[in-house]
Amino acid sequence: MYSDPKQCLYCTDNQTQKDLMVFVKKLSVSRLFIFREQTYHGRCLVAYDEHINDMNELQPEQLNAFMADVTAVTRAMQKVFNPEKINYGAYADTLSHLHFHLVPKYKGGPDYGGTFQMNPKQVYLTEEQYQEMAEQLKALL
């Protein structure tokens, strides 16, 4: 299923996007967001700048640049949040815009050793806390 860029969550910068995530920074070929739902402390999302449906549509240099962005973000996440592991999710079944969910996992924490929940709707922070996380990540990127 291919989504319409005019209605795409990542292309339109709409209220739904703002309700789900906090923009952090423009990267080389993508944008970094903090996922508002923070059951998995430090959860982020990296979305490709253009409306690309799948990684296999990218030219090698575009793919390398995107994966370099994802890697830079996970390195920053590791330093800021110190998770045991970071899970990567790139599903896009219903919203076919290339993006990765980057989900920190902690021993003894939610779903450790299993698959993360897409949106458990349990933990939300203050705007100040989101901004503090964003500043910590930006300082490393």
Average pLDDT for the chain = 94
Q: What is the largest CA-CA distance in the chain?
A: 41
pLDDT value of residue 6: 76
- Residues 66-121: tens digit of each pLDDT: 999 999 999 999 999 999 999 999 987 777 899 999 999 999 999 999 999 999 99
The Cα–Cα gap between 21 and 38 comes to 10
Number of domains observed in the structure of the chain: 1
The per-residue pLDDT for range 21-38, each reduced to its tens digit, is 999 999 999 999 999 999
CATH number at residue 54: 3.30.428.10
Residue among 10, 11, 30 nearest 21 (CA): 10
What integer pLDDT is reported at residue 1 of this predicted model?
53
- Structural domain containing residue 103: 5-140
Q: How far apart are CA 72 and CA 54, in angstroms?
A: 20
Which residues contact residue 56 at a Cβ distance below 8 angstroms, ignoring those fewer than 6 apart? none
128: its two tokens: 């100040």
CB 63 within 8 A of CB 51: no
How far apart CA 73 and CA 87 sit, in angstroms, is 13
Euclidean distance between CA atoms 33 and 121, whole angstroms: 17
Rounded Cα distance, 33 and 26, in Å: 9
- Model pTM score: 0.94
